[in-house]
Structure 1
């Protein structure tokens, strides 16, 4: 029986997912420069010809992954700028981070990939976009913390410093996840947000 258009699209999407997952793993663990297209195809379990049907070269694939990570970060920035309870928003965000880092390497790989792109970007447009987006992320988080302080949901302190500490923790966990592998122990949601929670609260 011939496959439907929907089935072809599902197969295409599944293949792209395999390619992206394989590429992320290789880029993070052995570096962009040391990774070639054949290795990506091998780890993805597909032929190199099939890979080229989806991506012209590894540079296109790398930039698509970075764009995907940046889109996710932009969504977080947008969500932090809305809502009634800063505490609930931050707790929900940390729960999602906790779930992602506990169950797979994908989020950790994406975060490390963005860092790699930043350091390899020089004065490129992508480099400036990453810098700008990270600045937006810190500003949106600091504003969220400030609003939470005004509602008596967070402890008092400089919001910009607290935001920097919070995201340094998230970035550090991603790096530890990749480097420690099976020895990595994911801290609880309560521990991750301990630097923001009011003393005595759980």
Structure 2
């Protein structure tokens, strides 16, 4: 019995996901420049020809993965700019990060991939680099959220932008440690990740 259009679409989607997963792992472990198309195809267990039916170039595949990661950051910005309690929003975000980090490698890989993208694209001017732009927006949204929480008495004192920078530097560092340590990595609890928000700054 011939396959239906829906079955072909499901197969196409599954193949594309295998390509994306394989490429992301290789980009993170070897770097974009040191990864070639043949390696991605081999890891995805498909032919190079089939891979080219989904992505014309390695750059196109890399850009799609980065755009997916940026989409997640934009959603976080929207979340942090909502009218909900700052304490509730931060804790919701931290629990999501915690659950993602203990359940798999996707979040860690995407975090590292975005850092690679900043250097791969090579824009000397940060204003021309989308990764830099979105990260700057995220830091500002987080700083504003922390400041609002301080004004409401939900968070301790401190310079809100510095606190936001510390917060995301910790998450970035944890993503890198997860990839480096593998099975020896232990994700800190949400309580540890947010402890700095509730102490009095100097």
| TM-score, shorter chain, exceeding 0.5 | yes
How far, CA to CA, are the matches of 1:51 and 1:123 in structure 2?
28
- In structure 1, the gaps of 5 or more residues are none
What is residue 89 of structure 1 aligned with on the other side?
Answer: 89
Secondary structure of 2:195's counterpart equals coil
Q: Which residues in structure 2 correspond to 1:40-189 (within 5 Å)?
A: 40-123=40-123, 128-189=129-190
Asked if structure 1 preserves the Cα contact closer than 8 Å seen for 2:77 and 2:137, the reply is: yes
How far, CA to CA, are the matches of 1:131 and 1:159 in structure 2?
20
Secondary structure of 1:195's counterpart equals helix
Deviations, residues 44-75 of structure 1 (Å, cap 9, x unaligned): 12222211110111111011111111111111
Aligned-pair CA distance for 1:101:
0.9
Deviations, residues 108-157 of structure 1 (Å, cap 9, x unaligned): 11110110110122227996211111110000000110111122111111
What is residue 192 of structure 2 aligned with on the other side?
Answer: 191
User: TM-score by structure 1 length?
Assistant: 0.93
Secondary structure of 2:56's counterpart equals coil
Asked if structure 1 preserves the Cα contact closer than 8 Å seen for 2:32 and 2:120, the reply is: no
Secondary structure of 2:196's counterpart equals coil
Asked if structure 2 preserves the Cα contact closer than 8 Å seen for 1:86 and 1:145, the reply is: yes
- In structure 2, the gaps of 5 or more residues are none
After TM superposition, the structure 1 stretch with the greater mean CA deviation from structure 2, 138-147 or 77-86, is 77-86
How far, CA to CA, are the matches of 1:153 and 1:30 in structure 2?
43
- Where in structure 1 do 4 or more consecutive aligned residues deviate above 3 Å? 124-127
| Matched positions, count | 199
How far, CA to CA, are the matches of 1:93 and 1:2 in structure 2?
46
